[in-house]
Chain A
């Protein structure tokens, strides 16, 4: 057993995962050597059409066999049909023991559960939401789930920690020679940023589209040099589940109050000046923070440099109002964002590697001034948990949480003090996803706790006078008082989930629930 720097006891080896490198600080691990790479390929003028008849044909052509690793992206979110279609076809073809390596799974992928139970899928490396998370938490997978951040995932691919045998890339548009785009087509999803590294490094790349066009198609997100086969299907997804119309700012007074405190903190910081950059999620509180900051930018005549992340209509409006010069978009959240990325050259598509990978020559997160994040719980040491719920079950992926927290100069986590009667500011989080050393402030409706490591921010907030500062211990104690004592989660020893820090070291593990 070793103890990592956030105090988690870790075994030297985890069955089904391999040797454990304990997390030892957010910048501690520096890589050596060269990048890994996919298989060399050759293509000549005797094959000018890469289309194959159907998914089964593509699986056959790709050389996919039992025990291999297949990857998917989640740009189609809860509207995705491709993951289920591919795994159904694998099952029909007798392929088993697959490792699936999605950038994320959604509720719609609960259709994979029978394939997990029957052994078609042996292992999942990627976020497991909802029913699959519950299944994994109850010990329903033979090998532990591996959770990586949006930057940690391309790092794992590029460094060779994960080798992708076949990448299945859902493409809202594709031409017959394998140029792909997410910007057009009836299943348009905007950016294809999560799929880029998979296309670069997989041994075989299969594009699945419902909008097959003649060669050459433009614009191109992933080009023909990466793509081996193209399959046209009736539909790659349900547009209603892929993107929403526009994203609405919350009207919940409590969330607005938290957002107002977070906005005041940003505005009090030394980073709120000409050229400010920021990222917020699409969640209710995050978007409301952006709404308040937007008003202050207008009022004080501050113009920002770029908005980053999952892009919503809200950020598009800010771009169009001149409050940002550019949007850097790894994932487009709504129809307005999809339209904007297709039409506005200042709305730039970026890959997950470009966005967040710590092991390249510089990701965009490093240029970020402020990020507003959520969490299921945070603790006295400013550690944040975004992976497990209060009952100890795996429920969420890491997303860009670790990457933006590590990169941004000001990392803010907004959370209500309690959700229902469950405290969200606790003594010690159940799972550490993001370490307190990269979290600068926790903002609740009962006040703003700034990490004592950031005396500069504390001074700036005091100077501004409108940030309701409170000690983190006071928040924890208030939550205790309001909720009463909580029963600890009962678990078995068996590890069912490994949470990697973005550099591949292990920051925490998740154990099987004892039910």
Chain B
């Protein structure tokens, strides 16, 4: 029941940020070897990121790496350098169908075996940055047990849709709904794309509120100042917390009395509802009440 509200991108060529990124309090980190790194720095960034993965600190953050696309000459070198370090997962850019996942999955298995890393440990988040990718969202989401999340693109996707990003994000509404549906159908998480206007706090609150309501688990983040803003949007309300507490307490009581069914205010409550209530308390920073 790990929180995944914010996944902060850290440029793979910036040692300052790579060493300190965990201090900003995001739920996860994405060490970026793709867009943040120019073609001339691909090798040095890969070396830097793998050294920092071995020797750096990441606090409680989930640690992932965005590798270069499978249409480049870098992606396998990226995997060979980072997977042996024992990371939580990778992000694959511009996934359009299950065949891409399959190729990466095979490479991951080969590298994990060779490095003595538990096979399957390295999870995959697929970035769906084209219309084709969005269209195939479910097939991608269900293509491998490694795929634990999918995420729509922002700039690239709107370009592919032959439009541009607007303030209210109307052009991404359809893709977002399709992604959340596909993720839930496949039983995995869904992250939203980054909010590019780093000084527009109101716009960020609007967008985060919208994607939270759609059901997204969290958002990719390009600037640390966005983290507390998104966390506050994902913070459950007092009413939600009170309700969740009653459900969790009822479940504990039922378990203590050896009862299979949970009842709150005389109504039966299903296991997924209990799980959801536990998750609400975790999001509210009350995970000790879940234990």
Which residues of A does B touch, CB under 8 Å? 251, 253-254, 256-257, 445-446, 482
Contact = CB atoms under 8 A, between A and B. Distances in A.
B16 interface: yes
B23 interface: yes
B19 interface: yes
A155 to B, nearest CB: 41
Contacts of B20: 254, 445
Contact of B225 (A256, A445, A482): A256
Contacts of B225: 251, 253, 256
A254 B16 contact: yes
B227 to A, nearest CB: 10
B210 interface: no
Interface residues of B, number: 9
A445 B23 contact: yes
Contact of B224 (A256, A446, A482): A256
A251 B226 CA distance: 12
A253 B19 contact: no
A253 B198 CA distance: 12
A290 B225 CA distance: 17
A446 B59 CA distance: 11
B121 interface: no
Contacts of B224: 253, 256-257
Contacts, number: 17
Interface in B220-272: 223-225
Contacts of B17: 253
Given A253-B223, A253-B224, A256-B224, A482 B23 contact: no
Contacts of A253: 17, 24, 223-225
B283 to A, nearest CB: 18
Nearest to B223: A253
Nearest to B224: A253
11 contacts: A251-B225, A253-B17, A253-B223, A253-B224, A253-B225, A254-B16, A254-B20, A257-B24, A445-B20, A445-B23, A482-B19
B contact face: mostly helix, strand, loop, or mixed: helix
Nearest to B21: A253
Contacts of A256: 224-225
A445 B21 CA distance: 10
Query: Can you list the 8 inter-chain pairs with the closest CB atoms, starting with the nearest?
Result: A253-B224, A445-B23, A445-B20, A257-B23, A254-B20, A257-B24, A253-B225, A256-B225
A253 B22 CA distance: 12
Given A253-B223, A253-B224, A256-B224, A446 B23 contact: yes
B172 to A, nearest CB: 26
B219 to A, nearest CB: 17
A254 B224 CA distance: 9
A254 B225 CA distance: 10
A253 B190 CA distance: 27
Contacts of B16: 254
Contacts of B223: 253
The winner among B20, B223, B224, B225 for most chain A CB atoms within 10 A is B20
Contacts of A254: 16, 20
A257 B224 CA distance: 9
Contacts of A482: 19
Contacts of A445: 20, 23
The winner among B16, B19, B23, B225 for most chain A CB atoms within 10 A is B23
A251 B17 CA distance: 14
A482 B52 CA distance: 11
A251 B19 CA distance: 19
A336 B20 CA distance: 36
A251 B23 CA distance: 16
B61 to A, nearest CB: 15
A482 B19 CA distance: 9
B136 to A, nearest CB: 36
Contacts of A257: 23-24, 224
B291 to A, nearest CB: 20
Given A254-B16, A256-B224, 15 more contacts: A251-B225, A253-B17, A253-B24, A253-B223, A253-B224, A253-B225, A254-B20, A256-B225, A257-B23, A257-B24, A257-B224, A445-B20, A445-B23, A446-B23, A482-B19
A288 to B, nearest CB: 11
A251 B199 CA distance: 10
Nearest to B227: A253
A254 B20 CA distance: 8
A47 B23 CA distance: 68
Nearest to A256: B225
Contacts of B23: 257, 445-446
A256 to B, nearest CB: 7
Interface string B11-44: 0000011011001100000000000000000000
A257 B225 CA distance: 9
